[in-house]
Structures are given as C-alpha cells and as structure tokens.
Amino acid sequence: MSNLILFPILIPLLTGIMLIFFYKKTILQRIISLLSTSVSIIIVLFMIDKIKNEGIQTVNLSNWDAPFGITIVSDMVSALLVLTTNIIAFCCILYSFKGIDRERENYFYYAMIQFLLVGVIGAFSTGDIFNLFVFFEVMLMASYVLLVLGNTKIQLRETVKYIIVNVVASALFVIAVAYIYSVVGTLNMASISERISEVDGSGILTVIAVLFLIVFGLKGALFPLFFWLPGSYYAAPIPILALFGALLTKVGVYSIARTYSLFFYEDSYVFALLGTLSLLTIILGAIGAIAYNDVKKIIIYNIVTAIGVILYGFSIFNSTSLNGSIFYLLHDMVIKGALFLLIGIMIYITGTSNLKYMSGLMKKYPLLTWTFFLAALGLAGIPPLSGFIGKLLIIQGAFEESNYIGSFIVVLSSLLVLLSVIKIFVKAFWGEESDNITRKPIKTLLLPGCLLVLLSCLIGIGAEVISPYISLAVESLLQPENYINAVLKE
C-alpha cells in the first residue's frame, strides 16, 4: 500500500505507451483512456483517505533513502490536485468523443493526453526540485503536440510562440535549480528546506526566490508574464483548451506555493512582491475579460484573473487565506473546465466564437442555457456556489493582515468577472434567434460540462465536508517541518 502514490503517475504513463500501438483504432483508444482515468480517480480517493488517517505518504525510488535518491511525496495538497486533474481529464476525454475531429484523434491524441497527465501529476507529486523540472518538460512536450494537432495556420503560429516562451522558462528553471544546489548542496525539497535556514545572508536566497517566481510566473501566467497565454490557448481545439485552461497554469501556481512555503517562508520581501504582482494580474485579467466579445477570449482572460486571486491569497500566507486559496484553486480548475466545454458547444452550434452571431440560443437549447448560467455564477463567486467560499476566505485572510486595498481589488474583480460572463449569457442566449443557429444533437457534448458544473455546485454546498481535507492541505504548507519529517524520516 505504501507504493499506492506511484500509481497516478504510472497508470497514464503505461496507458499512453499502450495507446501508441492502437493509434488507428479510435474506439479502443476512447475506451482505454476512459478506463485509465476512472481507475486513477478511484486510486486517488483511496490515497486521500490514507493521507487523512496516516499522514503524508512517501516512496523512495530504487530504495535510495532521501535526500540521496528521488522521492515521490503525496500530502493532502498534491492528492487533492491529482484527484481534480483526473476528474477534469475524464470529462475532457468524454467530450472529445464528439468534440474533436477524427483526423486529430488518429494522430496520437489520446496518448498525448495521457503523457500530459504524467507531467501534471508528476509535478504535483515529486519531492525533488530537479524532477519537478523533468515533469514540467514531459507536460510541455505533450502540450506542444496537442497544440499543433490539426495543422492550421493559427495553431502553427501560436505553437511557435508557446515553444519559445517555454524554452526560455525551462532554461531559467535549470539556472535557478543550479543556484539553489550551489547554495545548499541537495535537490531534495525537504532537505533544501532544512538546510536553507542554515545559509548565511539572505541576499542570494532572495535572488533565487525571484528567479523561481519568474520561471513559475511564466508557466502560471502571472503579471507581466501572461502575454503568451491568450493567443496560444485561443488556437487550441476546445477539449485541449479545457485541459490547458484547467490544468497547465495551475502547475505553475502549485510550484510557487510549494517552493515558497518550503524554501522562502521567512522572506517577507518575496511574499510582498508576489502579492503586488498578483493584484496586477487580477486587474489586467478582469480588464481583458470585459474588453472582448469573443467567448473564448473572455474565459481565457478569466484564467488570468483567477491565477491572481489564488496567488494573492497565498501571498498573505496565513491559515485563513491559504484555506481560501486552496479552495479557490480546486474550484477554479473544475469551473474553468466546465466553462470551456460549454462554450465549445456554443461554438459547435453557431460556427463562431463571436457573441454578435450567437443570440437566441435559449429557445432551442434551454439545458445548455441554464447549465452555463450556473457555471457563470459559480465563476463569479455568487453564494452558495463554490467560488464564493474561496474568495470570502481570501478576503477574510487579507483583512486579518490589514490588506484592505487587496481585499477591495478581489471584491471588484468578482463584479467584473460576473459582468464578463453575464455578457455572454445575455448576448448569446437571450434575444432574437440568430440565423446561423441550427438544431444539432448536443447531449453527448453536454454531459461532461454538466458533470463538472454539478461537481462545482457540490463543492459549494458541501463545503463543510471538504473543509477538513482543505485544512490538512493548509497545515502541510504552513508547517514545513511536517513535510520534512515525512520525507527525511526524522
């Protein structure tokens, strides 16, 4: 049972390898992909129960004890993120059965999704800073292939930009890892945390912290490093866009949370810098969301806003704000996946992502209408839906530290986010029916979006059930000694 935490990484890895041999057999690929993510979800649920009862779980690969070997670590933070990742992947794969063309499916599409999951889940689970880089690269390699599948002009152009940005970020990542290794002489994250307190002079640590912020800020779309995201994500087909929007930026967010809570928790300067950049990210994301009449662009800019809100809560770094950040992180992964899948159906029906040509959808598609409405309210943080609780706790945590300006910006962003998604609801679903709206079968496409919206509602309504798990996750971030003791067996 101690090796259980390896299975969420091994299952998609073995599934991806298997699917390469069946890349022309579409039906078989679909069945294997769904079974793989279903089994992973069940295993992660067992993992979460084990972590709750027995504490942080670790596995030393090849029996090399930490800090000399590679350690896989699963605490409540990573386990909750791995569970959410698999649920979103399940829904995106289900949507892909009707939501992506057969040509893309036959070019290793499902295999690449599995390899993407290996990178994402591995990044959430590794206890080694260099292997975090390795899993980032696995994730990025798969994302390059998924982004370019289809070979359209916009995809090729944006993929080149996406690759260049990530190559630069990866080079900076290696430099940052080399710097921290030169200072502490280890790559094991628990060991780094233990040794870093013994380092004389905080100047070099602040430089390393800022370098990590640049690296993870590029990958997580933090201001001013989110310039690549709107164009690159816009080019992707809808199920791939839903995967990217829900998962990839969150790996950057998790990496900031993990490294800062373990390595730099005593450096008030870098937390102040993170808080300032987070607030600017919120503002720029909200402005972008209300500026466009394209449904894809509106939701993409709302990704940026959410990243700012999550990281602002983390920059406060008290128990209340961290509860809010983790709650909001899980909520945002689910609701962003839902919204991208729902606007994908709207684009499928109308043949456009421009709101000017979408009016009157409600008459033919009432279930889609009210599902989107619920998702929009959840995104904006309207009580009792899941977005409300996370934001409320972040604002409460900010008030505890007398950060009133930041609290005001978070509240204002909620109003702007609500305005941006209600604009979609009013313009696309109300009014006279547009000429390009036709009756199309959407039940299969709508099911995964409905599942995610239902999950979002359950997270909000069942907040008291989830709260103990969130508290354990917060404890793992606030008390790094628990993480260190579990990994180093002290």
Q: What is the pLDDT of residues 216-247, one digit of tens each?
A: 988 888 888 888 888 888 888 889 999 998 89
Q: Would you say the pTM of this structure is higher than 0.85?
A: yes
pLDDT reading at 434 higher than 90:
no
Which residue is associated with the tokens 């907040």?
463
pLDDT of amino acid 327: 92
Residue predicted with more confidence, 453 or 153: 453
Name the nearest CA neighbour of 253 among 184, 322, 299, 207: 322
- pLDDT at residue 202, as a whole number: 64
pLDDT of residue 307: 92
pLDDT value, residue 2: 61
Query: In sequence order, which ranges of 236-318 are alpha helices (DSSP H)?
Result: 238-243, 249-262, 268-291, 295-316
Exposure class string for 320-353: b at 16+ Cβ within 10 A, else e? bbbbbbbbbbbbbbbbbbbbbbbbbbbbebbeeb
Per-residue pLDDT at 120 exceeds 90: yes
**DSSP letter string over 173-230?**
HHHHHHHHHHHHS--BHHHHHHHHTT-S-SHHHHHHHHHHHHHHHHHHT-TTS-TTHH
Does 67 sit behind a cis peptide bond, omega within 30 degrees of 0 on the bond before it? Answer: yes
What is the pLDDT of the chain when averaged over all its residues?
87
Q: Quick one: pLDDT at residue 201? A: 58
State percent of the chain over pLDDT 90: 33
- What is the Cα 486 distance to its own chain's centre? 26
pLDDT bin (cut points 50, 70, 90) of residue 86 is very high
